[in-house]
A = this chain, B = another copy of it.
Amino acid sequence: MPSYKAPTRDVRFIVNEVLGLESHGFAGGSADIVDVVIEEAGRFASEVLAPLNAPGDAAGCTRGADGSVTTPAGFREAHARFREAGWATLSAPEAFGGQGLSDVLGFAVEEFMSSANQAFAMYPGLTNGAVAALLAKGSVELQRKYVPRMVSNEWLGTMNLTEPQCGTDLGLIRTRAEPRGDGSWAITGTKIFISAGEHDLTDNIIHLVLARTPDAPEGTKGISLFVVPKVLVDDDGALGARNAVSCGALEHKMGIHANATCVMNYDGATGWMVGEENKGLAAMFIMMNAARLGVGIQGLSQAEVAFQNALAYARERRQGRALTGAAEPAEKADPLLVHPDVRRMLMDAKAFIEGMRALYLWVGLQGELSDKSADETARQQADDLIGLLTPVIKGYGTDKGFETAVAMQQVWGGHGYIVENGMDQFVRDARIAMIYEGANGVQAMDLVGRKLALNGGRAIQALFALVDAECAAAKAEPRLADLAGRVEKANGELKAATLWFVQNGLANPNNAGAGAYPYMHIVGIVALGLMWLRMGGVAARALDAGAGDAAFYEAKLVTARYFGERFTPDAGALRRKLEAGSEAVMALPAESFWFG
Question: Which of A66-74, A151-159, A512-520 lies at the binding interface?
Answer: A512-520
Q: Are B254 and A427 in contact (CB under 8 A)?
A: yes
> What are the interface flags for A316-334 relative to B under an 8 Å C-beta threshold, 1 for contact and 0 otherwise?
0011100110000000110
Query: Which segment, of A123-131, A238-246, A569-577, faces chain B?
Result: A569-577
Most chain B Cβ neighbours within 10 Å, of A347, A427, A513, A590: A513
Chain A, 355-379, CB within 8 A of any chain B CB: none
Say yes or no: is A315 at the interface (Cβ < 8 Å to chain B). Answer: yes
Q: Are B424 and A254 in contact (CB under 8 A)?
A: yes
Whether B414 pairs with A436 at a CB distance below 8 angstroms is yes
Is the beta-carbon distance between A162 and B414 smaller than 8 angstroms?
Answer: yes
* Interface contact A341-B516, CB-CB below 8 Å: yes
Q: Are B172 and A333 in contact (CB under 8 A)?
A: yes
A509 at the interface (CB under 8 A from B): yes
Contact of A176 with B by CB under 8 A: no
Given contacts A167-B413, A414-B162, contact A315 B590 (CB under 8 A): yes
Cα–Cα, bound, A428→B551 (Å): 39
Which of A320, A346, A508, A582 is the most central at the interface, judged by chain B CB atoms within 10 Å of its CB? A320
B513–A341 touching, CB < 8 Å: yes
Is B342's CB under 8 angstroms from A594's CB?
no
Chain B residues lying within 8 Å of A200, measured Cβ to Cβ, are none
Task: Kindly list chain B residues whose C-beta atoms are within 8 Å of the C-beta of A342.
Answer: 441
Our pick among B7, B10, B431, B509 for the contact of A417 (Cβ within 8 Å) is: B431
- 7 pairs of residues in contact across A and B, judged by CB atoms under 8 Å: A9-B595, A169-B319, A172-B333, A255-B417, A341-B517, A350-B594, A562-B584
The answer on a CB contact under 8 Å between B347 and A414 is: no
Pair B512/A323 contact, Cβ less than 8 Å: yes
CA distance A150 to B323 in the complex (A): 40
In whole angstroms, how far apart are the Cα atoms of A141 and B167 in the complex? Answer: 64
B341 touches A168 (CB 8 A): no
CB neighbours of A562 from chain B (8 A):
584-585
- A592 on interface, CB distance cutoff 8 Å: yes
Verify B416–A435 contact, CB threshold 8 A: yes
- Assess the B565–A577 pair: CB atoms within 8 A: yes
A127 CB, min distance to chain B CBs, angstroms? 20
CB-CB under 8 A from A576, the residues of chain B are 569
B512 touches A252 (CB 8 A): no
Comparing A177-185, A459-467, A553-561, the segment that makes contact with chain B is: A553-561
Q: For the complex, what is the distance from the CA of A5 to the CA of B586, rounded to whole Å?
A: 25
A432 at the A/B interface (Cβ < 8 Å)? Answer: yes
CB-defined contacts of A517 to chain B, threshold 8 Å: 341, 344
Residues of chain B contacted by A595 (CB below 8 angstroms): 7, 9-10, 549, 551-552, 555
Known: A307-B594, A315-B590, A324-B508; 17 extra A-B contacts, CB below 8 A, are A7-B595, A169-B319, A171-B333, A252-B420, A339-B513, A340-B514, A341-B517, A343-B586, A344-B585, A413-B435, A424-B431, A551-B595, A561-B584, A562-B585, A565-B584, A570-B570, A573-B573
Chain B residues within 8 Å of A5, by CB: 596
- State in angstroms the CA–CA spacing of A574 and B222 once bound together: 49
Give, as a whole number of angstroms, the nearest-CB distance from A268 to chain B. 25
Partner of A555, one of B516, B549, B588: B588
- Knowing A254-B419, A552-B595, say if A324 contacts B509 (CB, 8 Å): yes
Q: Roughly how many angstroms separate A424 CA and B10 CA in the complex, as a whole number?
A: 34
